[in-house]
Structures are given as structure tokens and as C-alpha cells.
């Protein structure tokens, strides 16, 4: 992954204006899921470039929708107060303090129904999509290892198949497996195309 990040973003913008990309055409009947992997040490630069695209005329032209997984996770956790009457954040903090990070991860994944076929994060995204748009998924680095990319992508494939999706991934993707931060093997994943 030695490509220049500026060139890769230029390539991404070219793809975004391509009608075949917008309509998920030319992918051997595969759903248009793309992974833009990058070295974790370029996270801040990637965020700036995504923000620049989001605020550009191009974003309006292609109806770009950007979803930050961390923000969605926090919104969904805070929404639990409606159902339980209790703010879950102090409870989650107490779980981490007394029972450890692994238990915390399991609890958050249970609340977000991450083992379900239609988890709450994917449902949140789906409920906010117009019929035609390009979807950017960001913020995975901020949620790792609580939320894993393959859980989002596997569920998304089942419910979102008309819009091209670009997932920004701090790590490596070789069209066989995801490697978070270039080191930790996340999970085998074969359905997305690497955006280079």
C-alpha cells in the first residue's frame, strides 16, 4: 500500500462521477462495495480529504451520504435511554471498569444487535438513504475493536444493494482479508473491491 494518498483520492473522485460506478454496473453482477484502505498513520489526512469531498459540488452532484460509525454507535447507545429509562453510558463505563474490555465489547455488540442479520448500525444507515446516492462509511478506526468492519459489511450486503458503498479502512485489504491497522487480522472478507 505504497500508493500516494492524493492520487488515490483523485481516482476516487473520478470513480464517483462515472455513471457505471453510480449504478453499480460493470462489476460482474456484484454489489458495488469498495474498500479504501490506508495506513492508520494517515487517518487525519484521510478525514480532511473526506470532509473536503463532502463539502464539494461533487458531493451534491452524486448525492453523497457520509456515515460515521462512531457517531452512529454513540447515538444508538444514548437512544437506549428511551427504552430503559436509564442512560447506558455510565453503565457501560462501569462494566469496563469492573469486568474488563472484552465484556464491554460483548455488551455493546449485544445492544447494537451486531450478531443479527440486520444490526442496528446498518438499519440506521438504511433508514437514512435516498434511493440514489453514493455512501461513504467512515469512523471504523475510532470504534475498533468494538465494531468490526466485516460485521457491518456482511450485514449491509443483505439489505443495501442498490447504492455504491465506499468503506474507509485504517489498515490493509487484499480482497481476501481485512487487517486492521495493518497488523491485526480482522476477518476474511471477499465481497468488496479494493479501491486503488
pLDDT in tens, 80-133: 888 788 888 888 889 999 999 999 999 999 889 987 677 899 999 999 999 899
The DSSP call for residue 14 is: H
Judged by average pLDDT, the poorest of 20-24, 33-37, 131-135 is 20-24
Report the length, in residues, of the chain. Answer: 196
Integer Cα distance of 50 and 99 in angstroms: 37
Is 0.85 topped by the overall pTM?
Answer: yes
Domain layout of the chain by residue ranges: 5-194
Percent of the chain with pLDDT over 70: 89
**Which of 122, 120, 121 lies closest to 158, judged by CA?**
122
- Residue 24's SS3 state is coil
Name 169's bridge partners.
Answer: 37
Integer Cα distance of 105 and 144 in angstroms: 10
**Cα angle value 59/72/85 (rounded, 5°):** 145
User: To the nearest 10°, the Cα dihedral for 70, 66, 178, 48?
Assistant: -90
Judged by average pLDDT, the poorest of 47-51, 95-99, 170-174 is 170-174
Amino acid at each position: 500500500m505504497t500508493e500516494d494518498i492524493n492520487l488515490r483520492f483523485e481516482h476516487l473522485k473520478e470513480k464517483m462521477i462515472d455513471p457505471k460506478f453510480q449504478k453499480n454496473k460493470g462489476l460482474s453482477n456484484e454489489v458495488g462495495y469498495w474498500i479504501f484502505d490506508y495506513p492508520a498513520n494517515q487517518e487525519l489526512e484521510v478525514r480532511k480529504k473526506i470532509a473536503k469531498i463532502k463539502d464539494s459540488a461533487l458531493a451534491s452532484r452524486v448525492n453523497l451520504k457520509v456515515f460515521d460509525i462512531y457517531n452512529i454507535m454513540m447515538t444508538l447507545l444514548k437512544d437506549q435511554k428511551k427504552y430503559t429509562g436509564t442512560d447506558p453510558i455510565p453503565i457501560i463505563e462501569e462494566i469496563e471498569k469492573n469486568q474488563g474490555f472484552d465484556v464491554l465489547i460483548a455488551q455493546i455488540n449485544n445492544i447494537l444487535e451486531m450478531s443479527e442479520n440486520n444490526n442496528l448500525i446498518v438499519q440506521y444507515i438504511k433508514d437514512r438513504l435516498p434511493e440514489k446516492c453514493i455512501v461513504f462509511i467512515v469512523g471504523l478506526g475510532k470504534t475498533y475493536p468494538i465494531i468490526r468492519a466485516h460485521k457491518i459489511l456482511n450485514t449491509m450486503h443483505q439489505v443495501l444493494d442498490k447504492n455504491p458503498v465506499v468503506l474507509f479502512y485504517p489498515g490493509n485489504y487484499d480482497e481476501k482479508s481485512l487487517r486492521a491497522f495493518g497488523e491485526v487480522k480482522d476477518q476474511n472478507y471477499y465481497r468488496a473491491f479494493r479501491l486503488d
